[in-house]
Amino acid sequence: MKCWSIILAAGSGSRLAEAAGGKKKQFIEWKGAPLFWHSAVVLSRVARTQGVVFVFPEEDLEDAREQLKGLDKFRYLGMPWVAVAGGPRRQDSVYNGLTALPRECETVLVHDAARPFMTPALVNRLLDALKGGAKGVIPALPVTDTIKAVDGNTVSGTPDRATLRAIQTPQGFIRSVLQQAHDTCRTENWQVTDDASVLEQAGIPVMIVDGEPANIKITHPEDLAMLESQSSSAPAMVPVVGWGYDVHRYGSGRPMKLGGVPIPGGPEVVAHSDGDVLLHALTDALLGCIGGGDIGEHFPDTSAEFDNISSGILLNEVADKAAQAGLVITNVDVTVIAQIPKLAPWKDHIKKNICRLLKLEPIQVNVKATTEEKLGFTGEKKGIKAVATVTALRPAG
């Protein structure tokens, strides 16, 4: 199911403007980039997302496009993007974003630019629910405070908080369902606060998945302190190294992919998953950095669940485990060993995709290819090997 994301960055940010020096919150700089870019980078790390539509205030659109070009040139988002103007209401901005989606898009994630702390794990939960048959799915957290319904200054009731949830973004939808619901919304002039509400008014059921307590929205001046604390709180770190190796034989099987990039004309590979030998080696190297065993323990080739699965999804899951362990990747060095095919035309594409999947800068990733001078398994064109080294910092203790 081809998935694109819509990042909503079209708000006025009036509640934060004074505290942020007059800057709209989506353009606030954090870790050297605006908030809207951080959301896009997280989405780009998910192997199942193919592109993003940014929605900006009309008066900021051209400047934002230029800013995006500069960010993408030096930081490699690694997937196509489009920037369009928003509308007066949130629902109008979403509608404009929907009209900019490519025809082949089947599922869509709608996310608020002011939530920069979401993780790829949350995105994958939403996509899993859509794959499982949901038409709409949203992240939800249990409500811990007692909630009162009021009429003016008088309490009129106390809802059972066991039936209440606090809702976050991104929210995921089947694209055709969301488009049809928004068409009706515009015709009937509904007033809604999120896209799940559009489906609810159209009588379409919406599922929930577990949200993330850290996935907060930067809304009020005091929320800016959370950006500062995220930047300043750093535990003592120790350097670690992980090493990975993988090999696949050629034969009738899967079309060749390396680093998540299809290799046209390459030999087919015999494999249970998609046979991406490079991402398998890289996944093992990441596991080495956190003492996490090997790829076969986590994704056994005896399980039907992983039959022809994208190796990018496996890398996503391990990268999530590494992030939860506090790992900070400093460098990735990978080598493909094969007599055929010639990989020179694809090395830059592979590098960009690894940067995208692991949220790394180009200087942090190196991709090499070599042969074994017609010797041995690869030299006889019987198969392909890959090795990967990951250097990183891990919290001490």
For the chain, the distance separating the N- and C-terminal CA atoms, rounded to the nearest angstrom, is 42
**pTM of the shown model:** 0.71
DSSP state of 194: S
Taking only the tens place, the pLDDT of each residue in 96-121 is 999 999 999 999 999 999 998 899 99
Task: Say if residue 229's pLDDT is above 90.
Answer: no
Task: Say if residue 90's pLDDT is above 90.
Answer: yes
Taking only the tens place, the pLDDT of each residue in 369-397 is 999 999 999 999 999 999 999 999 998 75
Return the number of other C-beta atoms located less than 10 Å from residue 350's C-beta: 23
Q: Among the CATH numbers 3.90.550.10, 3.40.50.300, 2.40.30.60, 3.30.1330.10, which is that of 3-232?
A: 3.90.550.10
Residue type, 177: V
Which CATH number is 237-395 given? 3.30.1330.50
Q: What are the structural domain ranges in the chain? A: 3-232, 237-395
pLDDT of residue 385: 97
Pairing of strands 107-112, 33-34: unpaired
pLDDT-based confidence at 230, cuts 50/70/90?
low
Q: Which three-class secondary structure state does DSSP give residue 342?
A: coil
Taking only the tens place, the pLDDT of each residue in 53-78 is 999 999 999 999 999 998 887 777 88
Residues in Cβ contact with 35 at an 8 Å cutoff, skipping those fewer than 6 apart: 9, 25, 26, 27, 28, 113, 114, 116, 218
Mean pLDDT to the nearest integer, 11-23:
59
Instruction: Give the integer Cα–Cα distance in Å for 161 and 220.
Output: 25
Return the number of other C-beta atoms located less than 10 Å from residue 36's C-beta: 29
Mean pLDDT to the nearest integer, 348-366:
92
| Higher local confidence (pLDDT), 29 or 2 | 2
Distance between alpha carbon 66 and the CA centroid of its chain, in Å? 23
Residue type, 188: E
Nearest CA to 45 among 133, 108, 118, 102?
A: 118
41: which 2 tokens?
A: 């980078």
Q: What are the C-alpha distances in Å from 387 to residues 262, 263, 285, 381? A: 19, 18, 9, 18
Whether the Cβ atoms of residue 24 and residue 57 lie closer than 8 Å to each other: yes
Mean pLDDT to the nearest integer, 155-164:
93
Taking only the tens place, the pLDDT of each residue in 269-323 is 999 999 999 999 999 999 999 999 999 999 998 888 888 899 999 999 999 889 8
pLDDT of residue 233: 52
Whether the Cβ atoms of residue 323 and residue 282 lie closer than 8 Å to each other: no
